[in-house]
Amino acid sequence: MSDEAWTAEKAMNKLRNALKEKGTSVAEVFSQFDTDGDGTINGPELHHGLRDVLGDILSPGQISDIIVALDADVDNRINLQELQAAMSEEE
């Protein structure tokens, strides 16, 4: 994803489309991303997960933007409910 065209919303749309194409549920991708098993996705986990699922390597600033956009409880991490809410939004 080029920086000038990049937004957190576009990144989530791309992830949503990838999940549909692969027939993967949000819960399945969440468990893939949550490599330490603590029930949340932190910045490094999000970075590696998006790289593995989408092939996109995002900057730390872009990862931070996604977390801020999805993090409803403002704990600087994404929980399953926050990811589900983001994935259920209309494109």
Tell me the per-residue pLDDT of 8-45, one tens digit each, with 9 for 90 and over: 888 889 999 999 999 999 999 999 999 999 999 999 99
On the question of pLDDT at 91 being above 60, the answer is no
**What pLDDT is attached to residue 2?**
45
pTM, full prediction: 0.88
Q: Which class in CATH covers the domain with range 3-88?
A: mainly alpha
Q: What's the rounded Cα separation, in Å, for the pair 21 and 44?
A: 25
Q: What's the rounded Cα separation, in Å, for the pair 1 and 24?
A: 22
The domains of the chain are located at: 3-88
Sign of the CA dihedral with 31 first, then 46, 81, and 34 last: positive
Q: Which residue has the higher pLDDT, 91 or 14?
A: 14
